[in-house]
Amino acid sequence: MRPAGVLRFAFAGTRTDRARVSITAAGAAVAVLVLLCCATVMTIEPESGRYQSRMFTANTILPNTVLAMLLFSIPIMFLVAQSARLGAPARDRRLAAFRMAGASPAQIGWIAAVETGLAATIGAALGAAAYFAGRVLLDNPGPDGRRPLPTDVLPTRPAAIGIVIGVPLLATLLTVVLLRRVAITPFGVVRQSRQQRVRAWPMLLLVLGLAGMTGMSAAMRSEYVRQGRLDPTQAYNLLILVLLACTILVLLGLMFTVAWIGYTGARLLLRVTRRPSALIAARQVLADPYDCSRSYTVILVTTAFGAAGMMLHSWMLTEVAVRAAAIRDAALAYGTPSTDLSGTAAFRSDVHDIVNAVLLGIIGVAALTLLIALVESGVARRRAIAALVAGGTPRAVLARAMYWRVLIPAVPGIAIAGLAGMLAMRSFTATATAGWGGPVCVGTPAQCAGDDAGNYMEYRSVTHTFQTPVPWGEIGAIASASLLAVLLVIAASLLLQRSSTNPSELRAD
């Protein structure tokens, strides 16, 4: 098959295929843009004083900014991975038609790889173009020459090339790997279905990830590290590696645990209810319990990161309060004015608002991918749904079954995601500590002012430790926003269900 033919067949499909290409390109564009911004921040020289925000100038804040951007890029990579899998049944049926026309299995693999690879490459190019355009549009130095954003620096050339090439390559490799579980023959599509019972062992991944974070937090506070026996650079690099590894364990455990929750919930629902809509939904969940983990991955990951962000913000507020208490005590001991920390509190509030805006944007993108997944699921089941309508099942029952099918795994999954994100961050932010220490004169004013004032000096050290409150309200707001997005997606997908419930679909080829 000639390259031109492979290219033509790769983009010859239905609206679902074109939607998958568009979503894959959009996801790759966002991923490249975020990763390039992260690489840019990593090249900033701390304490340079060239930027207005302390996020890019403070030597203690800049590494945390880099780490936060690295962590928030993980949901974006999950989005790219999920986008490449959207509409897989329709794509596989189309590829089966190519097999019937005489294409070989290798040619089928090339067609699928070219489709995903070109879509992701176009998205990567758009993301890189948006990055360079943003550098020009947002470059607005003030009268003092300081810039609001680091638009005067570029990531290293190997990092930029690796990001622009790596994201499409990752999406293409994922598509090729997933096609290994599908045998596309001239007679149709044969999948290696999961017939075994869904197990709860992936929950161990979740527990191991949280335990690893707790152990790392305890190790970083140990006397061995506090006394400087471990090089600070090595300690920071080790912290990043362990934190990323534990985060991936938590997310994988969360994704596969939700499949077990949906499976268990569906079995329980079959025992306690006789409502037709609930019974239909339970049977659909039992038929493919891993559908929930595939469809809701980005929303669950975003909820976990949102809960972690709310916990981190609570710790930041507590840390400002404990520092204010320590400064106030030191000012009373030495009779000096107390330092005002309102600027620090305002800065952290601005960062919190930025994080909230980013989270809402990611939830919106995740909702779009979920909508496409639900529409594709309805198309894949159109004959079964049309048979139910032809047999007398009211469309209202099928609509309620859709709600049941989505909410059985989604509600507990979102709750567990929020709890997991909070516990992961609380491993490092359970308490906030600050203190002061120094010589204090304990004599009378006359003695302290005399030549022998040194005889009345004592060294005092006071340490304040505040417990970080759990922001249940903000975590609940993030979980509610995720659940609201799911409900809106279900409502939108129901608007498209009428064509799938038409009995004429029984005559479809």
**What SS3 string covers 58-111?**
CCCCHHHHHHHHHHHHHHHHHHHHHHCCCCHHHHHHHHHHHHHCCCCHHHHHHH
Name the token pair of 201: 């062992």
Burial of 104 (0-12, 13-18, 19+ CB in 10 A): exposed
| pLDDT (0 to 100) of residue 338 | 63
Using a cut of 0.75, tell me whether the model's pTM lies above it: no
Q: Which residue has the higher pLDDT, 379 or 310?
A: 310
pLDDT tens by residue, 262-280 = 888 888 988 888 888 888 8
Measured CA to CA, the distance from residue 96 to residue 85 in angstroms comes to 17
What are the structural domain ranges in the chain?
Answer: 1-192, 286-509
Residue 52 has pLDDT above 80, yes or no: no
Residue 191 has pLDDT above 70, yes or no: no
Highest mean pLDDT among 72-76, 135-139, 458-462, 490-494: 135-139
Highest mean pLDDT among 53-62, 229-238, 356-365: 356-365
pLDDT tens by residue, 436-485 = 666 666 667 776 766 776 676 776 667 778 889 999 999 999 999 889 98
Measured CA to CA, the distance from residue 196 to residue 365 in angstroms comes to 33
Residue 194 has pLDDT above 50, yes or no: no
| pLDDT (0 to 100) of residue 509 | 46
